[in-house]
Structure 1
Amino acid sequence: MAVTMLISGEEAPAPTDRRRRNDDGARIGTVESYQSLRKIGEGAFGAVSKARHLRTGEIVAIKSNRSGAGVDGAALLLQEAALLAACRGNPAVVRLLEVVRGSGMDDLHPVLEYVGPSLHDVIAARRRRGIPFTESEARRAMAQLLSGAGTMHAHGIVHRDLKPGNVLVGEHDRRLKICDLGLARSAAAPPPDAQQVDGTIGYIAPEVLLCEKDCGAAVDMWALGCIMAELVMGQSLFPEDGLCQQLINIIDLLGIPDDVSLIPVGIDAAAPSKLRDKGAKERLSAAGFDVLRGLLQYDPKDRLTAAAALGMPWLTPMDG
């Protein structure tokens, strides 16, 4: 993997698919139609493997139910496949090709387009080589991610676990694609009985940490702010501490909002935001910092939407 790669703003054409399709465009096949090549990722309920279609030779990614996850794991994979199908046509979301069945009724395997390494791996590789992302590269990346998340939100889908590990970088076209919708939720689905703290520590929005109800698209915007900061600084904005410490870290960085100023967290209530001084001053212009600050607003009502962020001077107009 070339660690000096630029993140492209060009959209690559979809590969030609000569396999038979049903009426809704989904492919028809079985897991035996694929040869597994190697494991490329693993999550709470399943693993992802790189595979080759035996007849066409096409390289894909196949998700498999983790052993012991049973019906619950299969249901989550099927739910993720449904949400991916609803994102069809969004160039910034990995494409679902088909769902195939294995040896049992609960042995389901979503088949996805193979994209490339995760953004997490690319950031880590460039950090090891001492090659930081330029502001132009960060801007191109954020334009793609904001556009992709905005389209998801317009269709009533909230990802709820955006992070560099759930963003893929195309091997050939360098396009970014959002993946792993395992925690995603449709706005049409009934709210859960109890608010859960879902997501990955370091990217969880403050309102989720506070177990507020009806957390919506703003949680994705917070996570995109964390990703933007990581691109600019080359390291995570927040350390992967526990949930309570995560909230303290957020307050320490951004200052204490009025509605939490009485919480005894050991931080001066008059403490100003330290965001501008945390590595962003040297690598991010004032226009770029306006976007970062807008995404990392403590109150979700004050946070930028994807459309608002894309309309800011830092992202319009985009140069070639």
Structure 2
Amino acid sequence: MEKYKLGKVIGLGAYSTVQKDLNLKTNQIVAIKRLYTFDCKNGVPYTTIREISMLKEMDHINIVKLLDVIRNTKNEWYIIFDYLDLDLEKYMVTYLEDSMDKHRIKCIMHRILSGVMYCHKHRIMHQDLKPDNMLIDLNASVVKIADFGMARAFHIPLRAYSPEVLTIWYRAPEILLGSPVYSTAIDVWSAGCIFAKMLMRQNLFAGASKNEHLRKNFSIMGTPNERTWPGVTSLPYYPAGLPEYNPENLEEFFVDLEPAGVDLLSVSCCCFQMCVFF
């Protein structure tokens, strides 16, 4: 770590601290994640090992770049990434007017979807897409997907995965309903929720519990049934007595959005049905 000049802390988590630092040899600003190892038998959480291995294999302009991994003699782990100014959540709060510009939203979404497409082409599901995990520069000209701790590599045919992934407001219905088999469609759903939040400045689906969140989903997108989603009523967390909602017209929620934008939202927020036929 001698070649780095440690700077201010820019992030705190359950397993790590992130600092904005300077590489003294290259004069490059970097982000260094210092891992807490006191509760890990092997010195580092398995999610971090998985994140490191995946990022080593990826090289894309819209994916955060892994620069180095350092383990010192005290068994302390440091992961070095390229640095960006802030995340999308903070950008929307700090630069309210700029972040509401339609052209800027379009550019940000294009970059997010480009990164998601790259992941899926390389058989990786991110599984935790949300504004907090989208790093961005102050001009919104660079957007990079970060935090691959929940990500998984997948293969065909699909196998069962844990349903306990994703922040609830960006979680696809098949996850909320406890489906053991899901696909890349969960990332597309999350991207659609990010798009909606940039447009609305609030979450399109924002329930305080799983059931409330499902009701909000279905009150807008329509309640799935055995005709539209075979097997849905047999999923573990399908709530009894769920009202039969008809799909709403998204144009009524986003009156200023051009037809192509409404179409993108519609495709993103209906993509959970793709998992059944994947």
**Closer/same/farther in 2, CA of residues 232 and 67 from structure 1, 3 Å limit:** same
**CA displacement 1:236-286 (0-9 Å, x = unmatched):** 22226222322222112212111357943553x1433253333x123x111
- 1:31-180 equivalences under 5 Å are 31-66=1-36, 68-70=38-40, 71=42, 73-88=44-59, 90-105=60-75, 107-127=76-96, 133-171=100-138, 174-180=141-147
1:149 partner amino acid: V
Partners of 2:197 and 2:117 in 1: CA distance: 20
Q: Is the 8 A contact 1:115 1:170 kept in 2?
A: yes
Residue 67 (structure 1) shift: 5.3
Residue 35 (structure 1) shift: 2.3
**Closer/same/farther in 2, CA of residues 136 and 74 from structure 1, 3 Å limit:** same
Partners of 2:239 and 2:245 in 1: CA distance: 13
Show structure 2 runs of 5+ residues with no match: 227-231
- 1:1-320 equivalences under 5 Å are 31-66=1-36, 68-70=38-40, 71=42, 73-88=44-59, 90-105=60-75, 107-127=76-96, 133-171=100-138, 174-187=141-154, 195-239=162-206, 241-259=208-226, 263-265=239-241, 267=243, 269-273=244-248, 275-278=250-253, 280-282=254-256, 284-297=257-270, 299-301=272-274
2:89 partner amino acid: H
Residue 72 (structure 1) shift: 6.7
Q: Is the 8 A contact 2:189 2:272 kept in 1?
A: no
Partners of 2:264 and 2:85 in 1: CA distance: 28
Partners of 2:199 and 2:274 in 1: CA distance: 25
Residue 208 (structure 1) shift: 1.0
Residue 47 (structure 1) shift: 2.3
Question: Which residue in the other structure is 2:229 paired with?
Answer: none
Residue 297 (structure 1) shift: 0.4
**Closer/same/farther in 2, CA of residues 264 and 189 from structure 1, 3 Å limit:** closer
Residue 154 (structure 1) shift: 0.4
TM-score (norm 1): 0.75
**CA displacement 1:39-80 (0-9 Å, x = unmatched):** 112334222211112333321001121353423744322221
**CA displacement 1:213-247 (0-9 Å, x = unmatched):** 23221111000000111111122222262223222
SS at match of 2:8: strand
Quote the RMSD (CA, aligned, Å): 2.8
Partners of 2:245 and 2:107 in 1: CA distance: 36
SS at match of 2:80: strand
Residue 111 (structure 1) shift: 0.5
Show structure 1 runs of 5+ residues with no match: 1-30, 306-320
Partners of 2:213 and 2:255 in 1: CA distance: 23
TM-score (norm 2): 0.85
By relative contact order (CA 8 Å, sep 6+), the higher-ranking structure is 1
Kindly tell me the number of residue pairs found equivalent between the two proteins: 267
**CA displacement 1:127-179 (0-9 Å, x = unmatched):** 4xx56623222211111111111011101111100011000112467211101
Partners of 1:204 and 1:162 in 2: CA distance: 9
**Closer/same/farther in 2, CA of residues 132 and 64 from structure 1, 3 Å limit:** closer
**Closer/same/farther in 2, CA of residues 152 and 266 from structure 1, 3 Å limit:** closer
Partners of 1:43 and 1:300 in 2: CA distance: 34
**Closer/same/farther in 2, CA of residues 85 and 285 from structure 1, 3 Å limit:** same
1:62 partner amino acid: I
Partners of 1:80 and 1:302 in 2: CA distance: 25
Partners of 1:220 and 1:94 in 2: CA distance: 17
Residue 205 (structure 1) shift: 0.8
